[in-house]
Structure 1
Amino acid sequence: MKKSLLTLAIALAGYAVNAQVYTSPANNVGIGTETPIGKLEVNDNYSSGVIAYFGAYRINEAKGIYFSRPVAKTNPVNIQGSQSSIGAVDISLQAEGGNVGIGTSQPIGKLDVTDDNGTGKIAYFGSYYRNDAKGMYFSRPVVNTNPINIQGSQSSIGAVDISLQAEGGNVGIGTSQPIGKLEVNAGSGTGIIAYFGAYRLNEVKGLYLSRPVVSTNPVNIQGSQSSVGAVDISLQAEGGNVGIRTSNPNGYKLAVNGSIHAKEVKIDLDEFPDYVFKPDYNLRPLTEVKTFIDQNHHLPEMPSEKEVIKDGVNVGELNKLLVKKVEELTLYLIEKDKQLKEQEAKIERQEKRLDKFEALLKKK
């Protein structure tokens, strides 16, 4: 190392006697300073212009790496690709605050990458050969627009994977024009739209948003990837219907293919059968009820077993019918109680007459 640094110092001295190259007792090399603080220190004493250059022999307009200071006695040091315009920087390093600017000499944070509102790629993270290589591309689809796209390949700038909206704070995945804070657009294709869960999503339990059939409205929310379409929850875009363990709510606002457990269920009804107790209500005679039961094997107005198995029951309507039948039964009981009391009174009168008749017979 000692020999290499000495050779570098001699070579630099050979090109320019006034280059001010120094070697310290600690074998450090200083350019522009007699007391280098490291193995190599280049000191321009806060002046403006090129500090160091690495590249071709003729530096005027030659491509290479330039270390420069745009303004004398300022902190930022720029790393440029050409000498053309010192200040229109490629990379700016801020001595105070530790900020780095790429495309700006005034970074507003630890890292500021600016493309001056142009179109195309802003930044790329991936393999060395970038042409259509898979990686992460930050790009702007249209000049002077706010959205910044994050893409998985360079193929089609604008056919974005993720779009970040500078104004409004909207984020689009699969669209560059999100209509809300977050829009995930899978087009009209089938399969998984979004997944939330473990890293390896193949058959892993988690939350899957999927579309079972191409160009259909329902979006399914599933607990596993096993069977797209054998859904846990199905959301119907048109009509606002929801299916749980079914993708076909059949026009119902909520269709559940399974059991429901709840502490309380409230059902709104338009009427209730209190009219049964009105004086003008036509109560069927019990003989007529018996004839109906003998012929149909269920109460009048109540659905049959066959109808219930085929179509299910409307809980609200069924409860109304059950209350109606209880009220009718109450009327039957009231009528029977009246008849019973009348019979008891008649029997009591007959027993008194019988007692009198027996008393007369004893006197004779």
Structure 2
Amino acid sequence: MEFSQQLSTTPTSAEDRAAILANPGFGDHFTDHTAVIDWTLKDGQGQWHDARIEPYGPIAMDPAASVLHYGQEIFEGLKAYRHADGSVWTFRPEANAARFNKSAERLALPQLPPEAFVESLRQLVSVDREWVPSGDGEALYLRPFMIATEAFLGVRPAHEVSYRVIASPAGNYFGGELKPVSIWLSTNYARAGRGGTGEAKCGGNYAASLAAQLEAEANGCKQVLFLDPFNDDAVEELGGMNVFFVFTDGRIVTPALNGTILHGVTRSSVLQLAQDRGLTVEERKITLEEWRRSVEDGTLAEVFACGTAAVITPIGELKTADGSITSPAPGPDSVAMAIREQLLGIQTGTVEDTHGWLTRLA
């Protein structure tokens, strides 16, 4: 797919960009351009067209656009990393492209060819490569998304759609030194249900988690944990991260994908790297009671969460309305820290990529 280019006539100055990159935060600043591909259904046939790079800015949209009324939209999240030689790479974009299309199928949106997905990242990073930070743990966060733009209030899949990619320099997701976080157990809210959109990456899932997130923050927690109350209070996932349990006998356990849990790219990478280390990998139901009991009898060694934004973060405490469950403090030789260092090393080019996960963007 060929991309045309209309570059910004007022790009961010080198001085202003340097000031931003000195303390990028997460999702606070955006690069000078965006990648766009439009889709139209005509005479029963859908076609992607007008692939382009254009200046970052507001999206002109009709007030009747379907996305504003029926939430027909999806998104992805991945990062671009600067290597020591100045080149820029991303991590497993084909997996993100596959998940993007799976989300599109669930939200009745058109499938985007995976090669167009990867090329859109390459095109955007190529023009905005100076925005890729080089600090420890920093990267350029890439946010592809697809929205229904047709002005039509009937309830049906939209006939006009826009695919876009924006980019934001990113530091540590939780800020400052990496240390165990406290999470809140949600008992009043559910993130997803059977037959719903839980395994799709769509905005509605995240909107549904925000009330619980506010509850978590009111109780001094960074994230919220959701359970399946109809399945023995089985652990599902955090508001935006998958969760793992490491046991003293060498097992690493994560909730099985069941239609309500997001297919995390970092999750699958952690499972592979854990297996490479000789750990016994289990994808199965794990209940809140098993979590509590394993802490009490000393068989649980670590609990951690993972996702694109935060990579891997140890969980120190699960707070509930009835008390708390405290996880063992991770040591320097913990599984979570070892896999985190290996994963970051692969992404930044300091550890050999034996699985062929890296793709060069610039």
Q: Structures share a fold, TM > 0.5?
A: no
Question: Relative contact order: is structure 1 or structure 2 higher (C-alpha 8 Å, sep ≥ 6)?
Answer: 2
Computing the radius of gyration from Cα coordinates, the structure with the larger value is 1
- TM-score where L is the length of structure 1: 0.23
- TM-score where L is the length of structure 2: 0.24
